[in-house]
Copies of this chain bind each other. A is one copy, B any other.
Amino acid sequence: MSQSFFSTHQATLDGALKAIRERTCWSAYPEIPSGKVYGESAKDDGQKAFESRLNRPFNLAGHPGAAGGVGAEVSPYGTALGVKYPKADVGSLVAAADKAWQGWKRADVETRVGVCLEILHRLNRRSFEMALAVMHTTGQGWMMAFQAGGPHAQDRGLEAVAYAYDEMTRTPRQATWSKRVGKEETVTLRKTFRIVPRGIALTIGCSTFPTWNGYPGIFASLATGNAVIVKPHPGAILPLAITVEVARDVLREAGFDPNVITLAADEVNAPITKDLVQRPEVKIIDYTGGSAFGEWIEQNAKHAVVYTEKAGVNSIIIDSVENLKAMTGNLAFTLCLYSGQMCTTSQNIFIPREGIETGEGHKSFDEVAGAIVKAVDWFLGDPKRAAEVLGAIQNENTARRVDEAKQQGLPVLRESTPVANEGFPKARVRSPIILKAESKDRAKFAGEMFGPIAYIIATANTDESIRLAADIAREKGAITCAIYSTDSKVIEKAEDAAADAGVPLSCNLTGSIWVNQAAAFSDFHVSGANPAGNATLCDSAFVANRFRIVQSRIPVTN
């Protein structure tokens, strides 16, 4: 059964293995939500499946804990989901995972990888249901929820499976070691190398990209033979609950105890994450979320291998540009997309206070800043497009941060105007607020202001812009950085500074590619080289320490 999962999906795995070596454009799961790809009834079926989840218990057969005991998700679009998940205490989750692990750890590499590939395949078929689950927990617009929550997340999960498979098969299972040790003596040993998984892995999900950020750790740990406890953010449980349900079905069919993967749901007023992190049985932790809790995990989870993706302060450096409008149009989408709630969204835009050179001549600081504001205004001028691109604000605290941003006392270049959402009148919506700063205001823009809040900052020159972007990345972390320059020397200087600060650089993006996008199999998301996180999605360091190799050797008797 499970060996056949491996053969069924071997071409997909081979494609992924090739892609991570070449890092060219490749994807296993179609990002177009088309009936031709997913079946003509897929969208309706997904809608029905999502609706049938609402206002009732989410049951997982054989799962530890009391069915339907916990969950308080409210859609950022305005209504409570009313879904109640199994409520399990930490002790019984750990005990169930450990029991299930005993069988899973003995499975061979192909069996485990086959199970992972089948889970991803079935998740792909459920992408329409997942889109709505992601949309109504994170606040993403529908199209983004489909792509980032569905196929793109599945691609990132597959990428982790490919790295895990590559790593586990790097060492042969057996080797014959033969050494001449004297004139008449040769020692010959048969050596067997066994993959030994670490034990229980914990994946702590975030509220904005529960699947995209969660799948790499979940699938890397599963493929390498660990049992996984999935701890979703209390505001975004449903996408990971569906994931766990699908995974348990496949595990059961393959003859394993489904508690190889379990759901640790909780509510904001009774959090269980710290208890889980501190359990000595937890040997691997994947975390995506705020910096404060991430740092607490890094400092306190000394018994576990820890992978974090925290937050950062992302910059755009504007030095010179061929086509001002092409740049401002690109930036407007970057600032508006999902209301700036991506960990890759830019916050600080540095422009020399003397202005910049463009294809249409010199433009003053105010002209460039004004063009950016105008591009955002234009972009949000169409209510349908605005509603789809902005989505909704996931967290009340983010909305409050936007509302209070003016209290910093900086000049306002663009107010966060109300934007109506026709489809969801009760949606929590904020458009970007854009503030003006000088480099001396560093204390005000150097901290992370999560959400649709941007600063356009006047600097002495591009050298200062680069220095500020790099220093802030080094001190506070950064996940993206962009530069616009027509001078290759300036770009080289920025590349050196960005590399030293551990932040990936995007240069001169215009058209349909944005700094806040990261493509599986090609872009390394988070470098692990600054405080924004200690790991990347995905490389071999992300998988190689989730298992160990333990050998046995015995003389070969001829």
Contact = CB atoms under 8 A, between A and B. Distances in A.
The main secondary structure of chain A at its interface with chain B is mixed
A349 to B, nearest CB: 19
A202 to B, nearest CB: 18
Interface string A165-185: 001001110011111011001
Nearest to A522: B177
Contact of A191 (B23, B527, B548, B553): B23
Interface string A256-280: 0000000000000000000000000
A551 B529 contact: no
A554 B545 CA distance: 33
A544 B535 CA distance: 11
B555 A510 contact: yes
Interface stretch (A362-370, A407-415, A498-506): A498-506
A529 B21 CA distance: 29
A37 interface: no
Given A187-B513, A196-B499, A176 B24 contact: yes
Contacts of A495: 192, 194, 552
B555 A519 contact: no
A379 interface: no
A193 interface: yes
Contacts of A519: 177, 179
A507 interface: yes
A541 interface: yes
Contacts of A175: 22-24, 522
Contact of A24 (B22, B177, B181): B177
Nearest to A322: B557
A98 to B, nearest CB: 12
A438 interface: no
Given A498-B552, A540-B544, 16 more contacts: A21-B171, A24-B176, A25-B177, A25-B178, A177-B522, A179-B519, A187-B511, A299-B302, A499-B550, A503-B550, A506-B553, A510-B555, A528-B545, A528-B548, A529-B548, A545-B545
Closest 7 CB pairs of A and B: A541-B544, A507-B554, A529-B548, A181-B512, A23-B175, A541-B545, A505-B552
11 contacts: A23-B177, A24-B177, A170-B540, A181-B513, A189-B513, A191-B522, A196-B500, A196-B502, A524-B551, A536-B549, A544-B544
